[in-house]
Amino acid sequence: MIGLTVVVSLAWGGTAWADEDGSEEPKVVDWVGSDSNTTYKPKTAAEGANWNFDPTKVSLNQGASASGTNFKGARILDGNGDVIMQGDVVPGVYDDVEHDRYAYWEGATLYFGVKDVASKNSVDAILEFYWFESSIPRGSDFYVMLLKVKSSPNPWDNWTVIREDNQNILEKIMLFWQDVQPAQHVGVWMEPGGKNGSLRWDFSVPFESYQWEPIKVMQIQESYGAGYDMGGGSGSGGGGEGEEGDDKGSKGSSIFSEGGAIADLTGGMTIQAKGYVNESFKIETQYTMTLYRWMMLVQSGGQDIHYKLAWLPSEDDVDGMKEDSAYSEYFIVLQADRGNPVHIQDIEIGGMFKRVLPFWFDNFKGLSATVQDIWITPPPGVCLVGELPPAGICKQTGVCGSVAPVCNGATNEWYCPVVDTFEVNELTCDGLDNDCDGLVDEDLSKPCSTACGGGFALCVNGEFQPCDAPNTEDESCDGIDNDCDGQVDEGITMACETTCGAGIRSCSNGIFSSCDAPVPVAEICDGLDNDCDGAVDDGLTRGCTSECGTGVESCTNGVYFGCDAPQPHPETCDGFDNDCDGDFDENLVRECDTACGKGYETCSNGSYMGCDAPQPSPEQCGDQVDNDCDGIVDNGCTSDNTQPRPPAYEARGPRPQTTPVPAAASACSIQQGDSSTAGAWLLLIAVLCLFFMRRLARQRA
């Protein structure tokens, strides 16, 4: 920066003036980008219809490409930079996969094609991309793809470019399987929908089918132009050169013009033309056509365009004409919204060749190549050199806003002037860029204070803004004394809740505490819903015991009960310890009886046994007791109550004296040697035995 004491002169003339310290008005010393330039938008199509510019200051790009194409007011786009081929090179309509294909960039030129190694025929193309500088004021990006295609036969093996010969009937019958295409074909396909560009088929060159039949070698010129004429008028429809206006200081035509043309320079005739070729923004090329008689077939639309070049038969063939290549150039015009990328899906070239074989059918060979997925990135820029700047480009005022904005021709961006300074550092809050650094009132502030403390008031556009010191505010949880009462975050709470209920969170040092609402805990037997699942004492059990063993009891309303352990019961004669005292079947007796009377029996191992009631026994004579418990006392005894005697005892006479024996034994005994009464005794014994057996059976029953 220039110091305060340096004296400088006016850059634009006028009366010099000096400040109190001797400084004079500023002069331009440099150019910098305007901060406001980022908000400037390109013109719309409607705004671009009337472009304000100074033709004496307009400087357009012009030159010639490596392939000899002349351009003016347009830029040739760089390969692998502005234009990128993301796809591959593949076969086209012929699906001739066995042939060699190539595609590569040389600077701004894309070379691609296909060659048949066997026949040595080839189809080759040169492709260049141009962007029109007139796109900036127009509000849309205009591009031209210049495609130069050559179909080259191998004349040494008698190959020629195919032409529409009249076949005889035999050839038509025998060659019905041949897909005979024209000498050359070109196809371009855009991404469907128009989001990333469309074909301007109405101004592409050629834009419609035509036929041309001169019998001579001719010079062909093709041209396309789109923009505003810098010379005060439009170009001719025939593609000729326009003349510049005589008044260099006058304003040129502000009407947008567009056109394309094909001309036969040799014959001085226009083959095809449309619109007005702008002489200030145009692309032009010239080449020699050697097919003599041809037909160009065009089929086009917004998303694809197709060309077929047919070589017509002629009776006036020139020597050597059959060895010529088929060459043609195509101007394919594209348009997209300003700044949007352009996507070309496919560009196909192809050619058909023929070889005449004596005494045999002719050979036909079709070659094709397609480059895929090509993207064009539009150049940046919002202005053209010579364009009059709209208002608001540069926001500086005062000492640094005295010079008009300038369009940089290299970047097509608006730039704002920087002048020498009155203040080395900005000191005055006046809305002026006093130090001319592109900023107004930057870093200017003054001290200020409020009830809550000190701060600064910043200068913005010449006015000091409210003090940035903290003001009294409602207290909030931020670790700051918002209400300036000497306390931080006092009384700040917020409601909270858990699944168990509501609570409060308190603020401390800018952080809210944890919620004090009850939180779920493990359920215990207390009559409460401890785990807050809506159920009280749910699922709580514990072990329990009794004199007889262990079990489980459940909690209900805070109390455990319902132990399912086995309980003591009165002892029963079942072989178990029913009263759980360690013994089983103890002290269990019951009454029992026999034919002789009552008694008691005792339980052991689950069964009652050992009845102590009196049992029947053999009758004892003379004891006045019913020993055999048959209801008769001393039954069967003799009158003297000694021994029982048989009923027929008296009839047998006196009984021999024997040794007394028990009654039961004597009743069933036979004394040895009593042979005289053996029969009677046997009968008596049998009767007695039968009697005792029946009585014993009755007692048991």
pLDDT, position 291: 53
User: Distance of CA 210 to CAs 117, 252, 297, 546, 696, Å?
Assistant: 34, 35, 7, 117, 150
DSSP 486: S
What amino acid is encoded at 305 in this protein?
I
pLDDT, position 158: 86
pLDDT, position 350: 94
* CB environment 281-302: b (16+ within 10 A), e (fewer): bbbbbebebbbbbbbbbbebeb
Q: Is residue 77 part of a domain?
A: no
Please determine, for residue 124, whether its predicted confidence score (pLDDT) is greater than 90: yes
Q: Summarize pLDDT for 379-391 with one digit per residue, the tens.
A: 877 777 777 777 7
C-alpha to C-alpha distance for 311 and 616, rounded to whole angstroms:
153
pLDDT, position 628: 83
- Sorting pLDDT into bands at 50, 70 and 90, what band is 306? very high
Question: What is the average pLDDT across 407-419?
Answer: 74
Q: Is residue 560 part of a domain?
A: no
pLDDT, position 168: 54
Encoded tokens for 361: 């059918």
Please determine, for residue 323, whether its predicted confidence score (pLDDT) is greater than 50: yes
Which residue did the predictor score with more confidence, 550 or 413? 550
Please determine, for residue 365, whether its predicted confidence score (pLDDT) is greater than 80: yes
pLDDT, position 29: 53
pLDDT, position 57: 67
pLDDT, position 280: 76
C-alpha to C-alpha distance for 394 and 411, rounded to whole angstroms:
17
Co-location of 233 and 370 in the same domain? yes
Q: Is residue 601 part of a domain?
A: no
**Range scoring the smallest mean pLDDT among 151-165, 216-230, 353-367, 430-444:** 216-230
How many CB atoms within 10 Å of residue 273?
Answer: 19
Which residue did the predictor score with more confidence, 415 or 228? 415
- Sorting pLDDT into bands at 50, 70 and 90, what band is 474? confident
Q: Which residues pair with 104 in a beta bridge?
A: 111
Most confidently modeled of 125-139, 318-332, 454-468, 583-597? 454-468
Which residue did the predictor score with more confidence, 463 or 270? 463
Which residue did the predictor score with more confidence, 181 or 616? 616
Q: Summarize pLDDT for 569-619 with one digit per residue, the tens.
A: 888 888 887 878 878 878 888 888 888 888 888 898 878 888 888 888 888
Q: Is residue 20 part of a domain?
A: no
Please determine, for residue 272, whether its predicted confidence score (pLDDT) is greater than 80: no
Q: Is residue 694 part of a domain?
A: yes
Which of 264, 268, 309, 267 lies closest to 287, judged by CA? 264
The fraction of the chain above a pLDDT of 90, given in percent, is 17
Domain end point (choices 463, 492, 519): 519
Co-location of 369 and 479 in the same domain? no
Q: Summarize pLDDT for 75-89 with one digit per residue, the tens.
A: 899 999 899 999 999
Question: What is the average pLDDT across 362-391?
Answer: 84
**Structural domains in the chain (count):** 3
pLDDT, position 242: 34
Q: Summarize pLDDT for 185-216 with one digit per residue, the tens.
A: 999 999 998 899 999 888 888 888 877 766 56
229 and 253 in contact (C-beta within 8 Å)?
yes
pLDDT, position 347: 97
Please determine, for residue 334, whether its predicted confidence score (pLDDT) is greater than 80: yes
**Range scoring the smallest mean pLDDT among 66-70, 73-77, 123-127, 350-354:** 66-70
Q: How does DSSP assign 678-697, residue by residue? A: HHHHHHHHHHHHHHHHHHHH
pLDDT, position 612: 83
Q: Is residue 231 part of a domain?
A: yes
User: Distance of CA 212 to CAs 291, 300, 358, 410, 466, Å?
Assistant: 10, 20, 32, 43, 80
- Sorting pLDDT into bands at 50, 70 and 90, what band is 677? low
C-alpha to C-alpha distance for 619 and 664, rounded to whole angstroms:
9
What residue numbers bound the domain in which 174 lies? 84-245+271-376
pLDDT, position 369: 95
pLDDT, position 112: 96
pLDDT, position 37: 45
Most confidently modeled of 394-403, 409-418, 514-523, 675-684? 514-523
Domain end point (choices 519, 545, 574): 519
Q: Summarize pLDDT for 429-467 with one digit per residue, the tens.
A: 877 777 767 678 888 999 998 878 889 999 998 899 999
Please determine, for residue 663, whether its predicted confidence score (pLDDT) is greater than 70: no
Q: Which residues pair with 696 in a beta bridge?
A: none
Question: What is the average pLDDT across 55-83?
Answer: 81
Residues 6+ apart with CB under 8 A from 571: 577, 578, 579, 584, 585, 586, 587, 588
Please determine, for residue 230, whether its predicted confidence score (pLDDT) is greater than 70: no
**Range scoring the smallest mean pLDDT among 227-236, 289-298, 611-620, 650-659:** 650-659
Q: Is residue 429 part of a domain?
A: no
Can you give the three-state secondary structure of 60-129, one letter per residue?
CCEEECCCCCEEECEEECCECCCEEECCCEECCCCCCCCCEEEEEEECCEEEEEEECCCCCCEEEEEEEE
**Range scoring the smallest mean pLDDT among 286-300, 439-453, 660-674:** 660-674
Please provide the average confidence, as pLDDT, over all residues in the chain: 76
Domain end point (choices 519, 553, 575): 519
pLDDT, position 671: 43
pLDDT, position 143: 92
pLDDT, position 699: 67
Q: Is residue 398 part of a domain?
A: no
Co-location of 364 and 481 in the same domain? no
CATH number, domain containing residue 189:
2.70.240
pLDDT, position 342: 94
Co-location of 356 and 501 in the same domain? no
